[in-house]
Amino acid sequence: IPKGEALVQAILDLKKEKNAIILAHYYQTADIQVISDFLGDSLQLAREAKNTDADMIVFCGVHFMAEAAKILNPTKKVVLPDLQAGCSLADGCSGEGLREMRAKHPNALIATYINCNAETKAESDIIVTSSNAEVIIESLPKDRPIIFAPDKNLGKYLSKKTGREMILWDGSCIVHEAFSMERIAKQLAENPGAKLIAHPESETAVLDLAHFIGSTSALLSYVENDDCQKFIVATEEGILHEMKKRAPQKELIPALVFDESCNCSECFYMKRNTLEKLYLCMKYELPEITMNEELRLKALKPIEAMLEMSK
């Protein structure tokens, strides 16, 4: 494996040679973010994957995101630098579990967060991301109960925002639930004038302190456009790279987590991808995301319903 600048050049050469596109999430390491062709949140990445005419989609994110790219654009080869790049939300929910919930609540609509696997998507009526969840939930028929899976924190937040009652799946993001309300309250007290911004996967106690709540792309726009000069950021630390780039004059303070030996919050699933693994996966076109066609078509339906409702 080449090293340093040669490694970056080798990736760029492979990209040209194979007519590949590198899609990256804001939580990837900075070296991957800067080499990517497109950097975005879950919804933006899904849209980009659907519309690309590259031959190979190299997905620098977690498994469910690469899987969504394959569902949306099946004729393209989709590769992910590390197949173990999972997600605690996706890993904790299953199609079988949703079928059981539907059997208990036959009149309910199942709205599922995009952070789930294809089998789970296939059992859902509609998919949402943190960028479009509120608008979509608000437009669901009022006479049907809503089952929301797998993120109970996002579900509680949406239920409060929209006034819709929800039957919640008991799942959470291990990264966002690690934020400590007590330590963050202390950070706010020590930084008068600072605003707390948080991703809605955080627990209610943290969200209750927040001045602004939003998806990764919404948090970025907020920091860029708001007059405030100091922000405490309650989401995965990878986002700070793009935030600093967009608002270089502002002070960004990572929100503190329960573990006092830790100064910021990392998603170890996202961080399984490295520049070396990116190079290898482009060179050997492995590991590849594959899926049986019947499952793909079932999972596509609720994703298409989402794209239709969040144009």
Binding footprint of ligand SF4 on the chain (CB under 6 A):
62, 87-89, 115, 173-176, 201, 236, 267, 269-270
Residue 262 assigned as binding residue: no
Asked whether the beta carbons of 206 and 172 are under 8 A apart, the reply is: no
CB of 39 to ligand SF4, least distance (A): 15
Q: Does 33 bind ligand 13P (CB under 6 A)?
A: no
Q: Tokens 């939930």 identify what position? A: 137
Binding residue count for ligand 13P, defined by CB under 6 A: 10
Instruction: Please give the distance of CA 61 from its chain centroid, rounded to a whole number.
Output: 8
Say if residue 48 carries a ligand binding annotation.
Answer: no
Question: Is 42 one of the binding residues for ligand 13P (CB under 6 A)?
Answer: yes
Please tell me whether 228 is known to bind a ligand. Answer: no
- Nearest approach in angstroms of CB 201 to ligand SF4 is 6
Of 14 and 44, which has the nearer Cβ to ligand SF4? 44
> What angle is formed at CA 81 by the lines to CA 51 and CA 57, rounded to 5 degrees?
15
Angle between helices 216-225 and 239-246 (to 10 degrees): 30
Q: Is position 93 annotated in a ligand binding site? A: no
173 is an interface residue for ligand 13P by CB under 6 A: yes
**Closer residue to ligand SF4, CB minimum distance, 54 or 243:** 243
**Contact call for residue 41 and ligand 13P (CB under 6 A):** yes
Distance CA 67, CA 118 (A): 7
Burial 74-106 (b: 16+ CB within 10 A, else e): eebbbbbbbeebbbbbbbbbbbebbeebbeeee
Q: Which helix (H) or strand (E) covers residue 110, if one does?
A: strand 109-113
Q: What is the DSSP letter of 271?
A: G
- Residues annotated within a binding site for [4Fe-4S] cluster: 87, 173, 267
Residues at the binding site for iminosuccinate are: 25, 42, 113-115, 130, 199-201, 216
Report the interface residues with ligand 13P, using CB under 6 A: 41-42, 115, 129-130, 173, 199, 201, 215-216
